[in-house]
Amino acid sequence: MLRNLDNDSIVHLTAYLNKVWESGEVPKHWKHANIILIHKKGKIPGIENLRPISLTSCLGKLMEKVIQTRLTRFAEENSIWPHEMVGFRPHLSAQDTMLRLKHDIIDKRKIKDTRAILGIDLTKAFDNVSHSAILDGLSDVNAGKRTFDYVKSFLKNRTATVHMQSLSSEEITLGNRGTPQGAILSPFLFNLVMKDLPRKLGRIEGLKTSVYADDINVWLNEGSDASIEERLQQAADIIDLHAKSKGLSCSPTKSELLIIRPRTRRADASPPRISIELDGKEIPQVDEIRILGMLISKTGNNPTTIAKLDTRVNQVVSIIRRISARGRGLKEKNKLRLVQAFILSRICYSTPFLDIKKAERNKLDVIIRKCTKRALGLPCSTSTEALEGMGVHNTWEELAEATRTAQLERLSLTETGQQILNWVGLQGNRGTKYQTFSIESKIRKALTVAPIPKNMHPQHDQERRQHRAKHLATKLSRMPPETVAFTDAALGGDGSSVSVVVDGSGIEQGAIYTSGVDATAAEEAAIALACVSTDARVIISDSKSAVRNFCKGKISDYAFSVISKGNIDRGITITWAPAHSNIPGNEAANTLARALIIRGGRRPQSNFKVETLTTYHEVIEHYRLGRRKYPLPDSSLTSAEAVTWRRLQAKNHMSPRWRYLTQTGNPEDQICRFCNKIGTLAHILWEC
């Protein structure tokens, strides 16, 4: 409802929110929660197995979202968070911890030292954290008096009513501990409590740390067993002291310690036992540890992960079978979406960061093919070659590549992400020799980046590209030439480059030379030049990477120096256009750039535009479309007709011969009842 308010209502609502913000007092009804108790799946009925779901005011959540957005931007701009904290931060995720573990632990199988991972569990951390610790953390970062007053009022004097079926409790006043459940601000406030922990742990030599909200993990991959035990014990003591100072407590029984012994050690040797204690109780050693949903085994194999995925596939296949059998059923496209949501997303979450052996890789490919066949309505006996020819699925290696590619692109956007890339031995600045800078907020407000359409592959989606080019050319031709700018860049064989700008009539508006940058940086510089040297309100570029970087607000130092020198006093829309699609302005910019490179005595590189695949969707579609031989079923076909279409493509549509081979095994069943010949599919369709 809030999304669909009329303009007058939005004005009054904004005025009310500002009044609350200025007063620093949160309305009482915003601080009241209706708690619904839901039974935990698979647990014995009982009070301890009821999960509370807290429902609070939607208007209060809207205000929380506004404050959380401001605080998040403030924290990132002022580098408040340590690089070891990746939870609830923009452009960071749990997979970034997995990437570090893969580099430090999983891929270090051949080293001669013991490796150890210690996972510390905080007992009901979000429910027990002290309000004073939260306010102290907020005060330390100097977020401002109004922010402090609002959060202070937000935390105190909260009330709740508990509901279960038709029963309701009286209004309960909550205490001075815990962050409100379901509140948008809660993760940020909890991060304030944990922000000093990585700095304390950083004093321990060689210790690697990851903090994701209340999930604390430390690991070591070098040193003697005695040294590892000493340093891990020191880390456990620091975590315990920090937790107690914030009103929290560690649980020794739920914490886990994984010890991975080097393979070079003799099998008959008795290695010294590594023992870590919390509050006088020993932390149990495990054969397999779960880190943010990723299972790491001391043997290096992944049977539990594969088994869990296989179980999940059987459940999803059963769901698809049921919904496909009811009436007309879901169509192929929607069933493939279910596979992506319930299976492929789980596979892509952790397996790209595990040491997947060849046999395990084959099992994962079998899992992927199994659920894909079910979604297409194909029998399990369908050949892999026929399934690949349909171009609707990917192998595990392709999914892993797409996941890692998207992750590296995402990590390059932030300072913490670039530090993580450096920790794992990768370049943090998009693999280039230059630095990236954030576009100033004043300039960013003037820039609007139009979304880049999907399915614009230069080889497989030529018809879509031509249609977009035609649409853009028609639209831009109706605009005054001075309000449109086309940009392009050309690289010389000696490493030099030129960035050019032409107007809607193809007349040159500016050009700059440089050297030592790649194509993306040169294209970014061309866009920046158009922003500051023309009056254009629409800027057209054929570089996806450059357009995306402007959308992200992170551009090369070269482009940053260009755009920072000018004054932008108008709104500008940056739009991507397909290269070499006969858009007059784009062709004029391309011709000018190549002419200027040649005029400067430099030999231009190839005129072919290489579009880098940087998103998950682009990578998987590149592989799918590259092997697609059979067309998709027409959208007008029913679900049953689409299945028939797919079975004809797979050459396993029901026939006497196919029934004999896959079902009965009785030689008489393969005979055509009309002519007594072998009843293959080709026979019953074309011969008999």
Cα angle at 505 between 504 and 506, to 5 degrees? 95
436-615: in CATH 3.30.420.10: yes
pLDDT in tens, 205-223: 999 999 999 999 999 999 9
Q: What is the DSSP letter of 2?
A: G
Measured between alpha carbons, how far is 609 from 522 in angstroms, rounded to an integer?
A: 13
Of 426, 398, 589, 605, the closest CA to residue 507 belongs to 589
On the CB side of 662, CA atoms within 13 Å amount to: 14
* Rounded Cα distance, 255 and 240, in Å: 12
Query: Residue 601: pLDDT above 80?
Result: no
Question: Which residues, other chains included, contact 31 with Cβ-Cβ below 8 Å and sequence gap of 6+?
Answer: 56, 60, 154, 157, 158, 159, 180
Instruction: Extract the tokens encoding 445.
Output: 């407000």
pLDDT above 80 for 329: no
String of DSSP letters for 298-360? TTS--HHHHHHHHHHHHHHHHHHHHHHHSTT---HHHHHHHHIIIIIHHHHHHGGGS---HHH
Q: What share of the chain has pLDDT > 70, as a percent?
A: 95
Coil, helix or strand for 74? helix
Question: Using CA atoms, how far apart are residues 268 and 34, in angstroms rounded to an integer?
Answer: 60
Predicted local distance difference test score (pLDDT) of residue 105: 95
Whole-angstrom Cα distance, residue 233 to residue 238? Answer: 9
Question: Tokens in use for 492?
Answer: 């010389």
Among residues 128, 133, 134, the alpha carbon closest in space to that of 188 is found at 134
Listed by start position, the domains of the chain span: 2-297, 301-428+628-648, 436-615, 654-687
Q: How far is CA 630 from CA 80, 390, 601, 646, 650, in A?
A: 53, 5, 49, 9, 9
Nearest to 87 by CA among 268, 618, 459, 95: 95
| Helical (H) or strand (E) element with 15 | helix 7-23
Query: Using 50, 70 and 90 to split pLDDT, how confident is the model at 610?
Result: low
The secondary structure of residue 250, as a DSSP letter, is B
- Same fold yes or no, 2-297 and 436-615: no
Task: At 74, list the tokens.
Answer: 């403030």
Mean pLDDT value across the chain? 90
CA atoms within 13 A on the CB side of 111: 16
pTM of the model: 0.87
Between CA 84 and CA 139, with CA 150 as vertex, the angle to 5 degrees is: 45
Check residue 264 and give its pLDDT.
65
| 3-state SS class at 459 | coil
Q: How confident is the model at residue 524 (pLDDT cuts 50, 70, 90)?
A: very high
- Give me 612's structure tokens: 């880098």
Residue 45's pLDDT band (cuts 50, 70, 90): confident
Beta bridge partners of 438: 554
Per the CB < 8 A criterion, the answer to whether 524 and 542 are in contact is no
Query: H helices then E strands: how many in the chain?
Result: 26, 22
The tokens describing 53, both together, are 């779901």
Q: What residues pair up with 541 in beta bridges, in sequence order?
A: 576
Contact 121, 128 (CB under 8 A): no
pLDDT, average across residues 625-654 = 90
Cβ contact 353:294 at 8 Å:
yes
Judge whether 268 and 228 are in contact, CB under 8 Å. Answer: no
Rg, Å, the chain Cα set? 30
Helix 396-411 and helix 415-423: axis angle, to 10°?
130
Q: Tell me the sheet residues that pair with 576.
A: 541
Backbone angles phi, psi at 490, to 5 degrees: -135, 145
In the chain, the amino acid numbered 421 is: L
Listed range (460-464, 581-585, 637-641, 656-660) with the worst mean pLDDT: 656-660
Helix (H, G, I), strand (E, B) or coil at 212: strand
Q: Residue 608's pLDDT is what?
A: 47
- Report pLDDT digits (tens) over 388-405: 999 999 999 999 999 999
Nearest residue to 179 (alpha-carbon basis) of 149, 147, 150, 154: 154
Q: What is the predicted pLDDT for the residue at 671?
A: 83
Cα three-residue angle 227-233-234, rounded to 5 degrees: 90
User: Cβ atoms within 10 A of the Cβ of 356, count?
Assistant: 20
Helix (H, G, I), strand (E, B) or coil at 400: helix
- Among the residue ranges 130-134, 172-176, 261-265, 672-676, the one predicted with the least confidence is 261-265
CA-to-CA separations, 358 to 109, 347, 679, in angstroms, rounded = 16, 16, 39
Mean pLDDT of 517-535: 93
For residue 191, the number of C-alpha atoms closer than 13 Å in the C-beta half-sphere is 24
Q: Dump pLDDT digits (tens) for 406-463.
A: 999 899 888 899 899 999 998 655 444 557 788 998 899 999 999 999 888 888 888 9
Q: Check residue 280 and give its pLDDT.
A: 87
Is the pLDDT at 600 greater than 70? The verdict is no
Residue 604 pLDDT level (bands cut at 50, 70, 90): low
Tell me how far apart the alpha carbons of residues 645 and 632 are, in angstroms, rounded to a whole number: 9
CATH architecture of structural domain 2-297: 2-Layer Sandwich (3.30)
Please, are residues 456 and 465 in contact by the beta-carbon 8 Å criterion? Answer: yes
Tell me what the mean pLDDT of segment 53-64 comes to. 92
Distance CA(599)–CA(513), nearest Å, equals 12
pLDDT of 397 reads: 97
User: In this predicted structure, what is the pLDDT of residue 59?
Assistant: 93
Give start and end residues of each alpha helix (H) in 448-583. 462-477, 519-533, 544-552, 557-564
- Span 65-93, mean pLDDT? 95
> Phi-psi region for residue 162, left (φ > 0), alpha (ψ -120 to 50) or beta?
beta
The fraction of the chain above a pLDDT of 90, given in percent, is 67
